[in-house]
Amino acid sequence: MISISVLEIQEMIKAQVANPEFATALLSSLKITGIHSLKEASATDVAFFFSKHYQTDLFETNAGLIITGSAFVSAIKAAKPPAWEKAVFLMCDDPYQAMGVVTAKFSSFLSSHDHQVQSGTLNQIHPTAIISENVKLGIGIEVGAYSVIESGTTLSDGVKVYPHCFIGKNSSIGKNSVLFPKVTIYEKTKIGERCRIHSGVVIGSDGFGYAPIKDPVSKKTIDHQKIYHLGNVVIEDDVEIGANSAIDRGTFGSTIIHSKVKIDNLVQIGHNCEVGEGSILCGSSGMAGSSSLGKFVIIAAHAGSGNQVHIGDYSFLAAYSGVAKSCEPESELAGVPARPLDDYYKILAIQNKLLRERGKDRKKS
């Protein structure tokens, strides 16, 4: 069982005690053994509060340690939930980031899917796994049942391959990367270090390209000529790809996912796309072929970019939006076609005003 002192957690997240008049006695004696939501936490658990949506839970929680944002402290103190006098409150500037730090500490003890750092010198290969003779294996490799690794592939130290994965010819996977069950990696794919690729992900499948075949007389389309995709996918370090997402290989050249990119579930990235460092693609978003994102772009759920469109560094695309033309860095866009947020909200206001006036006219008639 994990046991961490409050003082150690305070140091980890660079926090201050928000209620020293009540918490001082607990600082050195309280040991934290778990991490839970406010509603489920016990006296030896740590919980987090940084949203007003959970204020009811804050009044009912039994958590021994509560981490919150500095901006919330005055309101909590004024409201006087029972926990204020019974628990330790730690405050920091960014409690959401603090939650990441604390969950990372607990994860290696509480989750069998942690895989933050692989260790060990012995390879563990399940007897049903099929590994070609000329595959290069580092140390501390694990390959699960019924996985297939084809010739010319390299698995670096600490790579974990769960059951039922497929890795195609001449691919490479960097140190301490993890492929969860039923991941499919097509040939020539390059994956960096410390990547996490979740179940059902397909990397390197054909891009969506078909040339219409027309009837010489009617000029109407009668069939489709497939464009064969001969490139690959390159994924750099510290990338995470959510379940059932797909990344197509380049027609020629590479589809490139740069370091620190985070991709949610059910995301589609087309052929020859380039995703800039640290960008985030939320669930069911997509990128059409040859489109690109700058650094630390956020694409919200169900949003997407058109062919050959570039979205500049640090831009934000709101949910259900579609970008039809390239945009400058730090753009904030919404709608179809996407436009600056201010313009989008003005249009909504005008539409709502027209609807209200129309409703008044109907009542008069």
Q: Helices 6-13 & 95-110, crossing angle to 10 degrees?
A: 130
Contact 152, 170 (CB under 8 A): yes
197 lies in the same domain as 269: yes
Catalytic residue among 258, 271, 302, 310: 271
Residues linked to residue 221 through DSSP beta bridges, in sequence order: 214
312 lies in the same domain as 287: yes
Which H, E and C letters describe 218-286, residue by residue?
Answer: CCCEEEEEECCCCCEEEECCCCEECCCCEEECCCCCEEEECCCCEECCCCEECCCCEECCCCEECCCCE
Confidence (pLDDT) at 343 = 95
Confidence (pLDDT) at 123 = 95
Q: What are phi and psi of 112, to 5 degrees?
A: -80, -10
C-alpha 201, offset from chain centre:
13
Element (H, E) at 109: helix 95-110
312 lies in the same domain as 266: yes
C-alpha 283, offset from chain centre:
9
52 lies in the same domain as 152: no
Give the domain extent around 292: 124-342
In a domain, 365, yes or no: no
Element (H, E) at 136: strand 136-137
Q: Count the domains in the chain.
A: 2
Cα-Cα-Cα-Cα dihedral sign, residues 42, 48, 51, 52: positive
182 lies in the same domain as 260: yes
Eight-state DSSP code of residue 327: B
**How far apart, in whole angstroms, are the C-alpha atoms of residue 208 and residue 102?**
42
In a domain, 118, yes or no: no
CATH code (residue 255): 2.160.10.10
Contact 245, 262 (CB under 8 A): no
Task: Name the residue among 256, 308, 254, 315 with its Cα closest to residue 280.
Answer: 315
**How far apart, in whole angstroms, are the C-alpha atoms of residue 169 and residue 195?**
19
pLDDT (tens place) for every residue of the chain, 365 residues total = 789 999 999 999 999 999 999 999 898 899 999 999 999 999 999 999 999 999 999 999 999 999 999 999 999 999 999 999 999 999 999 999 999 999 999 998 888 888 887 677 899 999 999 999 999 999 999 999 999 999 999 999 999 999 999 999 999 999 999 999 999 999 999 999 999 999 999 999 999 999 999 999 999 999 999 999 999 999 999 999 999 999 999 999 999 999 999 999 999 999 999 999 999 999 999 999 999 999 999 999 999 999 999 999 999 999 999 999 999 999 999 999 999 999 999 999 999 999 888 777 676 66
103 lies in the same domain as 128: no
pTM, two decimals, is 0.92
Element (H, E) at 103: helix 95-110
106 lies in the same domain as 130: no
In a domain, 61, yes or no: yes
CATH code (residue 67): 3.40.1390.10
**258 has catalytic annotation:** no
**How far apart, in whole angstroms, are the C-alpha atoms of residue 317 and residue 307?**
16
Task: Name the residue among 114, 100, 199, 188 with its Cα closest to residue 151.
Answer: 188
Residue at a domain's end among 55, 86, 110: 110
264 lies in the same domain as 196: yes
131 lies in the same domain as 89: no
284 lies in the same domain as 151: yes
CA-to-CA dists, residue 191 to 180, 197, 211, 234, angstroms: 14, 10, 31, 6
Residue at a domain's end among 47, 77, 110: 110
237 lies in the same domain as 305: yes
CA-to-CA dists, residue 362 to 203, 227, 350, 354, 355, angstroms: 55, 55, 18, 12, 11
In a domain, 204, yes or no: yes
Residue at a domain's end among 110, 140, 169: 110
**How far apart, in whole angstroms, are the C-alpha atoms of residue 321 and residue 285?**
9
In a domain, 330, yes or no: yes
Show the tokens assigned to 261.
């990119």
In a domain, 362, yes or no: no
40 lies in the same domain as 90: yes
In a domain, 352, yes or no: no
Confidence (pLDDT) at 118 = 67
In a domain, 347, yes or no: no
Task: Name the residue among 308, 288, 286, 290 with its Cα closest to residue 299.
Answer: 286
